[in-house]
Amino acid sequence: MLYQHFATQEEIDRAYDPMLGRDPAVLVKEWRQRSEASRARHHTTIDLPYGPSLAERMDIFHAAQPNAPVHVFFHGGYWRSLSHREFSFIVDDLVSAGISVAVVNYALCPQVRFSELVRQSQAAVAYLYRHATELNVDAEQLSVSGHSAGGHLCAMLMATDWEGTFGLSNQLIRGALCISGLYDLRPFPWSWLQPKLQLSGRDVQEFSPLWQPCCVPAAVKLVAGGLESDEFARQMSAYHEHLRQQGQHVTQQLLPDVDHFSILEHYLDDGCFVAWIKAFHGL
């Protein structure tokens, strides 16, 4: 077996290709149109640099009130495609609820090593925390979420020793929402993604949240779609148990009737995602 019960690459590819049955061009075009409208709708700081490389940029959507809580979103794309610009549409109800939102861009594989994606996600959070005053957000009210690859990056943020690495408090994150995340990287060296990701054995070990201790004592919400392949639900449950055994406050939910992409609509209906993020901040 290559991984779990999978004996061939073809089996792994089917289980981990959420675009099966979808037209990616149509999907991304719709996201871009909706995101352009969201950027025009709000007071927005575009492409704020949080690090020295061109990829290290974020768009900040400012809530009306000063010193607002800040929520940080990391996009999906299997670590090798898309950008922050396709995902501005997730901010509308959060901004209306009085939460500023930072939508983060990061470099992609194979232009950079996998480890650099994790470092950049950490750098984005550290930047927001350290520059909160000038950005008119509350450093003590910071939460994170991410979709797919972004869900993995959020889990890696929870596994970050912020104090030992950045000199920041390990309590800097108030809550994390991981949406259709990948927490065990072991199938991907055997998959269609490997030519892009170029994962080494060390990468798999160091950057699988399932094999890392959780350093941040914050609430974690894990969700996956009922119409996704069984592997997304299985990985979610395995990570849930990993966190539960460490005494973490963690919940998991399989949302019915949504797939890997329609699950993002829950940012738009003031339903569970927005309600959970508001709860992270006591709103």
The mean pLDDT values, 10 residues at a time, for the chain of 283 residues are: 94 91 87 97 97 98 97 98 98 96 98 98 98 97 98 98 97 98 98 96 97 98 97 98 98 96 89 93 95
The domain defined by 9-280 folds into Rossmann fold (3.40.50)
- Summarised one tens digit per residue, pLDDT across range 130-181 is 999 999 999 999 999 999 999 999 999 999 999 999 999 999 999 999 999 9
Annotate the chain with three-state secondary structure: CCECCECCHHHHHHHCCCCCCCCHHHHHHHHHHHHHHHHHHCCEEEEEECCCCCCCEEEEECCCCCCEEEEEEECCCCCCCCCHHHHHHHHHHHHHCCCEEEEECCCCCCCCCHHHHHHHHHHHHHHHHHCHHHHCEEEEEEEEEEECHHHHHHHHHHCCCHHHHHCCCCCCCCEEEEECCCCCCCCHHHCCCHHHHCCCHHHHHHCCHHHCCCCCCCEEEEEEECCCCHHHHHHHHHHHHHHHCCCCCEEEEEECCCCCCHHHHHHCCCCHHHHHHHHHCCC
The overall longest dimension of the chain from CA atoms, in Å, is 55
Domain ranges of the chain: 9-280
